[in-house]
Structure 1
Amino acid sequence: MPWLTELLASRNTEKSVLWLSGRDHANAVTSREFKDAAVEFLAV
């Protein structure tokens, strides 16, 4: 994650990280918090 943050910082790109407590990459997509954030991101 630190490498990805540095990579995005070196570009003129907006960046954010959504930490989901108790979730990992396999089950994050079923989280309501993830779904709401994805909809907000895609609406931009």
Structure 2
Amino acid sequence: LTGNCLKRKILDRNCLKRTILAGNCLKRTILAENCLKRTILA
């Protein structure tokens, strides 16, 4: 799960760089940050 989390985070960064569907990218970035927080807590 941690690996998938990190991959998603990288994908979110790429998405933000491309500025494609910015709203959805922002939502995915928030989800990725929450996932990272969960990983730290776990």
TM class, shorter-length: 0.3 to 0.5
Q: Which has the larger radius of gyration?
A: 1
State the structure with bigger RCO (CA 8 A, min sep 6), 1 or 2: 2
TM-score, normalised to structure 2, is 0.40
